[in-house]
Structure 1
């Protein structure tokens, strides 16, 4: 473990959560050196902060969050990025997407303060962390496509469902998919629900990973 305090930059859109997490990052082995409400502000300030670790909120659009992970990994390779997300929305698919983009960790936001501090110290020392319940999902997500539940269901997708899945795999939210395909938001929600059902996917993240594993998603997707 490092002898100097691990310097943390916190990115969190919710001001109450930002205050709460910031208060946790106060022990002698960890110190808060900066904070931001969004990815763009983080990228503007991170260079002058001297941070060792970035806690990056992924509760917003996946496309923007994963793009920020990639930008940080490319521009500041010595900084360990730990993606965070609300516990009810955290899943192995998004964790794998974040790790593929260059993150060194993925944590739900409901963890005890001591666990968060341990995770920050570990990443500050060059390690990788995955929150409870997330790491256990990765073996299934990394399995060959023939072993992925619902893998054979790709052939059952309609032409329109194929289009929707390709856009989901790029990280687009329903509103942007609706604009791309000139459909209503409600229609897109129905298509996404049908795709998840046919693939046996429990979340958009699982659908993204299954699509990429099968070679189904476009080459310019988010998990490059």
Structure 2
């Protein structure tokens, strides 16, 4: 049996996926969690063979969870097929990336393939990522935009990142220029749409 841990904040979707996977003769859902910050503890307790993560979850997003679990067999299951998400997932060592629009049989096949050491990437998402190109933002620019997206003021961003306010403004300006955005809000929207923050 392939032991699976499911992490998705939408209870109904998580239960439906667990039920569908439970119909597969070689898959067993051993744990379910609704928050990203609950995944690591659940992994230590339940020792799954494959972890299926949603990206957008409270506590910690699925990409950060993946980064915190190096060497684990992880499949990202998401309704957000943004090119930057796929690139970040692959950089974090994720071996499966599939859309929530896929049939349950495809998710089961992805879990089996990842468990066997292979990769399973949704072909359309992979093609979109290739067309979109690399993320032009530096890690610090992404951090600044992420905090700005949460409504943080320049002063708060500076305090949280241990930077001067002028430096924060410079990072915001640089990100806006790289993204061809006319405002902070436009830069945040572009970066979110591409999955870069």
* TM-score of the aligned structures, taking structure 2 as reference length: 0.72
Aligned to 1:180: 157
Specify the SS of the correspondent of 1:133. Answer: helix
Aligned to 2:8: 12
Q: Contact conserved, 1:63 with 1:170, CA < 8 A, in 2? A: no
Matches of residues 159-198 of structure 1 in structure 2 within 5 Å?
A: 166-167=141-142, 171-172=146-147, 174-175=149-150, 177-178=152-153, 179-180=156-157, 190-194=183-187
> How many pairs are equivalent?
172
Could you tell me how far apart the structure 2 residues matched to 1:166 and 1:15 are?
34
Structure 1 unaligned segments of length 5 or more: list them: 146-150, 152-161, 183-188, 209-221
Q: Contact conserved, 2:148 with 2:157, CA < 8 A, in 1? A: no
The structure whose RCO (Cα within 8 Å, separation 6+) is larger is: 1
Aligned to 1:216: none
Q: Contact conserved, 1:168 with 1:204, CA < 8 A, in 2? A: no
- Choose the corresponding residue for 1:128, options 115, 119, 127: 119
Give the alignment's Cα RMSD to 1 decimal.
Answer: 3.4
Whether 2:34 is the aligned partner of 1:59: answer: no
Whether 2:38 is the aligned partner of 1:41: answer: yes
Structure 2 unaligned segments of length 5 or more: list them: 159-164, 166-181
Could you tell me how far apart the structure 2 residues matched to 1:9 and 1:68 are?
13
Displacement of 1:22: 0.5
Q: Contact conserved, 2:144 with 2:157, CA < 8 A, in 1? A: no
Could you tell me how far apart the structure 1 residues matched to 2:59 and 2:81 are?
12
Per-residue CA shift, 1:132-174, capped at 9, x if unaligned? 420112323456x9xxxxx7xxxxxxxxxx99x9136875461
Displacement of 1:29: 1.8
